[in-house]
């Protein structure tokens, strides 16, 4: 088998394996699951840390699409529609059972994966959401980016927890995901306008 093909197979299996058993699981078990020796595994990934770094790049960061940023900036489309479209895609392509389990295991293990994802990807998304919503409402976002991020976490956290409830808790809810996302978006935009007005009055 070509070396790159074998490496890709091991990496794919690693994402599956760590999502089921956690980041503290031993590489010996992963090697067995891959049907290779531990020595061969380490010939591709010299350390477990190196392997987990690649798992992060492929499994956590990989599903995110840069085109979503451009779509969120498209002011020809109403903000509520932009948000619904983005979060439906994000729910389907990022917030899968496997992704969520890896992300939660990384958080529990105090690994860098979760914070790296927040710093490298989510922070920009959260600030962008508040800035664009503020422009459409004819208001100004806070000059404090940390404040904007906290405001946007209200929506992002709600969508993320929706996925956790359905994929992790197996919460039986008959409402279609699309309907729930649209509801959260409406509530968020309504509350955001009130919050931005209150912030501007303080200035």
Q: Read off the pLDDT of residues 70-119 as tens digits, 9 standing for 90 and up.
A: 999 999 999 999 999 999 999 999 999 999 999 999 999 888 889 999 99
pLDDT at 171: 87
d(CA 47, CA 81): 45
Its sign, for the CA torsion 14, 67, 116, 107, is negative
Q: Which residues of 95-126 are buried (b: 16+ CB within 10 A; e: fewer)?
A: bbeebbbbbebbeeeebebbebbeeebbbebb
Share of the chain above pLDDT 90, in %: 84
pLDDT band at 203 (very low <50, low <70, confident <90, very high): low
Residue 36 burial by CB count (10 A; 0-12/13-18/19+): exposed, middle or buried? middle
């Amino acid at each position: 088998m070509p070396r790159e093909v074998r490496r890709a197979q091991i990496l794919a299996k690693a994402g599956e394996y760590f999502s089921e058993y956690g980041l503290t699981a031993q590489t010996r078990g992963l090697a067995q699951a891959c049907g290779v020796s531990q020595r061969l595994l380490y010939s591709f990934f010299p350390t477990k840390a190196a392997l987990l770094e690649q798992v992060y790049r492929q499994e956590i960061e990989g599903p995110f699409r840069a085109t979503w940023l451009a779509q969120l900036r498209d002011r020809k489309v109403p903000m509520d529609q932009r948000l619904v479209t983005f979060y439906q895609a994000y729910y389907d392509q990022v917030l899968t059972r496997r992704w969520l389990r890896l992300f939660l295991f990384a958080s529990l293990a105090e690994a860098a994966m979760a914070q790296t994802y927040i710093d490298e990807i989510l922070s920009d998304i959260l600030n962008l959401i508040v800035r664009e919503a503020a422009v459409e409402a004819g208001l100004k976002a806070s000059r404090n980016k940390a404040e904007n991020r906290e405001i946007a976490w209200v929506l992002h956290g709600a969508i993320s927890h929706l996925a956790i409830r359905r994929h992790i808790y197996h919460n039986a809810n008959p409402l279609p995901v699309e309907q729930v996302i649209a509801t959260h978006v409406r509530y968020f935009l309504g509350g955001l306008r009130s919050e931005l007005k209150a912030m501007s009055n303080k200035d």
